[in-house]
Structure 1
């Protein structure tokens, strides 16, 4: 069976919380702009990405420790692929195309949700500086793009 390790579980929970906070900042920025995927959605996407990847790591270690890696070949990249696929499905649901118009709406929202998943993955991999820097970068991108849009 699985080993019970409070320390490991607390680290995973800390990572999930960090991912939720970072992506919550992104979600708050989207919420203020009254976009469809706001505070809660981005927080849940980031936190769930961190949680799923962390649980995948535990599962892979379990297979290896029990000698099952010869029977089942664990591949952590498949977990990331599954997260991206699932989030892309959610993002696609936010995109709207106006009837009779070539304009597409909420594409940035869909991209932001995907980026939030990436931040959650980075936190799960304990790439904290990268996760914080990526969060700041996305906030800057959205702010600068908004300022440029107002000038045009």
Structure 2
């Protein structure tokens, strides 16, 4: 496959996954909370690993998979599930 065609495929993957990741992020304005950031990051990481594996770099894909699994298993230990991102309630014009 020519490099220009491969570039178009990768651009399409990034655009589509970006759209899906943005849809996973939920802003609850009434509660002033943001949810789904980790889910969006997981979607992007999975797509990146898939692209790397598709390019024939299996060792890099395996290493990236291991790194993502370790990071995602450590996050719940660092941040309790009750903590959520809070939206700043200050008036931006003040």
Partner Cα separation in structure 2 for residue 134 and residue 102 of structure 1: 34
Give the one of 97, 102, 127 matched to 2:57: 127
Is 1:85 matched up with 2:15?
yes
Is 1:74 matched up with 2:4?
yes
The 5 A counterparts of 1:30-109 are 57=1, 60=2, 74-109=4-39
RMSD, aligned CA: 1.9
Per the alignment, residue 114 of structure 1 pairs with 44
The alpha carbon displacement at 1:149 in A equals 1.1
Partner Cα separation in structure 1 for residue 17 and residue 24 of structure 2: 11
Partner Cα separation in structure 2 for residue 138 and residue 112 of structure 1: 8
Higher helix share: 1
TM-score for the superposition, normalised by structure 2: 0.75
Deviation string for 1:59-89 (max 9, x for gaps)?
Answer: x4xxxxxxxxxxxx93422211110100111
Partner Cα separation in structure 1 for residue 62 and residue 34 of structure 2: 30
TM-score for the superposition, normalised by structure 1: 0.49
Aligned residues: 81
Counterpart secondary structure, 2:56: coil
